[in-house]
Chains A and B, each alone.
Chain A
Amino acid sequence: MKQRDLVRLKRVLLTDQMRIPNGMADLLRNDMVTVLDGYFELDKKSLQLVMTIEDSGLYRISVQAQASAVRKMQTI
């Protein structure tokens, strides 16, 4: 088969797998904000969540965010 068609086949299979349940990305994003905000003065809008899938079928999840300072850890 022509290279173009093979690439199309692989893309179709990967995007099917990639499909993450509706709303899951938003939930995860909110959870990440809550977690990171516990440690940093987080710029909440800056948080970027990127999920990709590799040829092997593994998911790669990366989270990036900016913060202006580290929060003071409270001790008991």
Chain B
Amino acid sequence: MARAIVITSGKGGVGKTTVTANVGRALAMRGKKTVLIEGDVGLNNLDVVLGVEDRVVFDAGEVVTGRATIAQTLIPVCDKLCLLPATTHSVEILTSDVFVTLTEALKKEFEYVLIDSPAGIEEGFYRSVKGADEALLVCTPHLTSIRDGYKAARFMGSFGIENIGLIVNRVRSEHVLDGSSFRPEEISESMHLPLLGVLPEDDEVNTYGLCELDKMRYAFGLIASNVDKGERKIYDVLSETKGIKNKLKRWLS
């Protein structure tokens, strides 16, 4: 059975698109046929994060109006990974019902359908959530992000999405160590959501959408494996501070 998973957060700019792209690629690398749907129809960025913006010819709206087929519209990103783009032109056409139909059609061809949701809990959120079976909720260790995420999770609950996994992004080991930031486990407990992944803060994410550094690839790979196999292997941000060199650095500072 194919799984449609929406990546959402309530609050903007916390890493939904980054997670969609990188977890999508990690699933593809596990050999799973995966498609990413641009659910942020007005402010689409998934194409840029994936580095395929120059290859967008048709978009999801044109599939609906019959100008293009799904096969013509899908953009291959790498082996086993495709993007279904949606652009500003299609905001009107792409209603939530249309999204459900598209998602169902893609579920016949792919094993994983990941939907990148827009920020907010308005129409665009509803559109991307409606066709999904489960969700990944992304937040950062900040009170405002946790609060908005919690609201989004409760909304999803009222749409019947019960399987919601939490991903805490932009975690900084030094803040976890000195107690100046919420720990992922504390956030998971407060939100009553199972912790499915932790991602460290890293400048590389800002430079490239798809991360190439071992550390980030590893962290995204753990999330993909948790999603795929129902495991709970969590990236340890403190591992960065555990080496002898780092210990020395901390003693000397």
Contact = CB atoms under 8 A, between A and B. Distances in A.
A47 to B, nearest CB: 30
Interface residues of B, number: 15
Q: For the complex, would chain B's binding face be called helix, strand, loop or mixed by DSSP majority?
A: helix
Contacts of B180: 1
Q: How large is the interface on A (under 10, 10 to 19, 20 to 34, 35 or more residues)?
A: 10 to 19
A1 to B, nearest CB: 5
Contacts of A10: 190
Q: For the complex, would chain A's binding face be called helix, strand, loop or mixed by DSSP majority?
A: helix
A26 interface: no
Contacts, number: 32
Contacts of A2: 179
Contacts of B143: 5, 8-9, 12
Contacts of A5: 143, 182
Given A9-B143, A13-B147, A13-B150, A57 B192 contact: yes
Contacts of A1: 179-183, 186
Interface string A13-52: 1001100000000000000000000000000000000000
Interface of B: 143, 146-147, 150-151, 154, 179-183, 186, 190-192
Interface of A: 1-2, 5-6, 8-10, 12-13, 16-17, 56-57
